Amino acid sequence: MFICSNALFEYADHVKNLGNTLFKLLSEALGLEPSHLADIECNQGQVFLCHYYPPCPQSELAIEAGRHSEGGFLTILLQGESGDLQIFNEDQWVDVTPMPRAFIVNIGDLLKFISNGGFWSVEHRILVKNVAPRVSVAYFFGTHIDPTLTRIYSSIKELVFDENQLLYRETLAIDYIKHYYSIGLDAITTI
């Protein structure tokens, strides 16, 4: 076991609780009961990833994480200090300035999908801009992570007032996963 494993588990518990609070607030923002997104299991299937990127003295030779949006419902990111994250906003790339002790919360494609466009996923990319080491810690919420799921995703019926307003057709979780991973990075969006 790693020396810091207890701290990582404690951190993961706190971020999971933050995510659950965010799902309540997002439910209310959609005009739904606070528990709605949790009731339909948007807060399940969590993945916790920690990345350490060593110093890169020749950043022009590094492979960057190209334009993409997250495939799940929600991502909570502890960015680090390097400032390599950019979001696409109003037809241009904008640097996301790191803030100490702050999280970045990305809406994912599945939340865009089930909210029938009530929320929009964030297109972003990671650049390699400096020679300093970089750390990022991401906590992903998305039941799509398990490819054996037979779950069907569709827009929340309370958010579709007219059949003509339905933006997305329903899909099996496994079909969505195949589509998401088939388009790869630098795709405009998966939905």
Question: Over the stretch 48-80, which tens digit does the pLDDT of each residue have?
Answer: 888 777 777 776 666 666 788 888 899 999 887
Give, in order, the Cα–Cα distances in Å from 66 to each of 110, 117, 128: 20, 23, 11
The two counts, helices (H) then strands (E), for the chain are 4, 10
Cβ-count burial of 151 within 10 angstroms (0-12 exposed, 13-18 middle, 19+ buried)?
Answer: middle
**Residue 140 has what pLDDT?**
92
Listed residue (88, 65, 89, 190) closest to 138, CA to CA: 65
Query: Strand, helix or coil at 60?
Result: helix
Listed residue (15, 14, 19, 132) closest to 80, CA to CA: 132
User: 169 or 143: whose pLDDT is higher?
Assistant: 169
Query: Is the pLDDT confidence value at 189 over 70?
Result: no
Q: Name the pLDDT band for 120 (thresholds 50, 70, 90).
A: very high
**Residue 103 has what pLDDT?**
92
Beta-carbon contacts of 152 under 8 Å, excluding residues fewer than 6 positions away, are 170, 171, 172, 173
Q: Which domains does the chain have, with CATH numbers?
A: 5-183 (2.60.120.330)
**Residue 61 has what pLDDT?**
64
